[in-house]
Amino acid sequence: MASVGRLAGKVAIVTGAGSRGDGIGNGRAAAVLLARHGAKVALVDLNPDWAEETARLVKAEGGASQIYDGDVSDPATCEAIVERTIAGFGRIDILVNNVGVTGPRGDAVEVDVGSWDEAMRINVASMMLMSKYAIPEMVKTGGGSIINLTSVAGLRGGHPSLLYPTSKSAVIGLTRAMAAHHGRAGIRVNCIAPGTVYTPMVTSRGMSEDMRQARAEVTLLGTEGTGWDIGYGVLFLASDEARWITGVTLPIDGGASAGQSNLPVPPSEQPKH
């Protein structure tokens, strides 16, 4: 059942709130957890069918949600989503900017320029656009929390493509700048950098068990993450427990961004099955 207290009376917008298939992606997990803790949630997705399962999960726990479809890289669509959320729920307290694409492959020599521009608009400009229309509504009610989803790829190099880490680094810069611009209005802006999380989007690209194990090995914990791990990070940053946190990038990656462990696990510390 949806809890009362932690986010009671709050309203959240989660972009990319659906998932490809029945699995748990980052947006779906975030939406379910926010609703579980009392928030009413606007579920935004370019494909409304993907958000239907999220809405079903929210309803099954006694939560409230509405599905809004649209392309968040389009200014008019973002404005309409905010207007419809206000019309349906009366306010906006939390914005989770979760939409993103892998984008075109290739280095600076190889990358297609048109595809680059399109992907940058989806990965970066969409977050600015949703914030552009949501922030004035948050100010009316005393503030709010914006959580932008980036990637550990934005914290380090070594990615086979140029677009993806570049756009994810830009999200980190956008987060810091917005935190500085809007902090005195009571608006906190933070960023989550997921690591090797296994989600329906990852599944759709094809992922063998050997590939999954290899991804897990790059973490200090030697394990793979799930959408729920990211969702709980969103829940924390959206809540009053994080009232004095703004402008940060929180890696949720099993420690991968801190380094790579090559040390054997002592028998006494090996997991028991």
DSSP calls for 95-120: EEE--------S-TTTS-HHHHHHHH
Does 256 fall in a domain? Answer: no
Q: How many domains does the chain have?
A: 1
Does 1 fall in a domain? Answer: no
The residue written with tokens 């997991």 in the block is 271
Asked if 216 and 222 count as a contact pair (C-beta separation under 8 A), the reply is yes
The predicted pLDDT at position 251 comes to: 97
Please count the other Cβ atoms lying within 10 Å of the Cβ belonging to residue 139. 14
Closest CA to 6 of 166, 145, 186, 161: 145
Full domain range(s) for residue 190: 11-251
The structure tokens listed for 81 are 């989503």
Does 176 fall in a domain? Answer: yes
The predicted pLDDT at position 19 comes to: 85
Q: Residue 42, SS3?
A: strand
Does 141 fall in a domain? Answer: yes
Query: Strands 40-45 and 144-149: what pairing?
Result: unpaired
List the CATH number of the domain containing 186: 3.40.50.720
Does 265 fall in a domain? Answer: no
Q: Residue 3, SS3?
A: coil
Does 263 fall in a domain? Answer: no
The predicted pLDDT at position 219 comes to: 84
The predicted pLDDT at position 201 comes to: 60
The pTM for the full model equals 0.91
Stated as kind and residue range, the H or E segment containing 80 is helix 75-89
Does 260 fall in a domain? Answer: no
* pLDDT, tens digit only, all 273 positions of the chain: 444 579 999 999 999 999 877 789 999 999 999 999 999 999 999 999 999 999 999 999 999 999 999 999 999 999 999 999 999 999 999 999 999 999 999 999 999 999 999 999 999 999 999 999 999 999 999 999 999 999 999 998 778 999 999 999 999 999 999 999 999 999 999 999 999 888 666 555 566 677 767 676 778 888 889 999 999 999 999 999 999 999 999 999 999 888 766 655 555 455 554
Does 73 fall in a domain? Answer: yes
The predicted pLDDT at position 273 comes to: 44
- Cα separation of 84 and 103, whole Å? 29
The predicted pLDDT at position 100 comes to: 95
Enzyme catalytic residues? 164
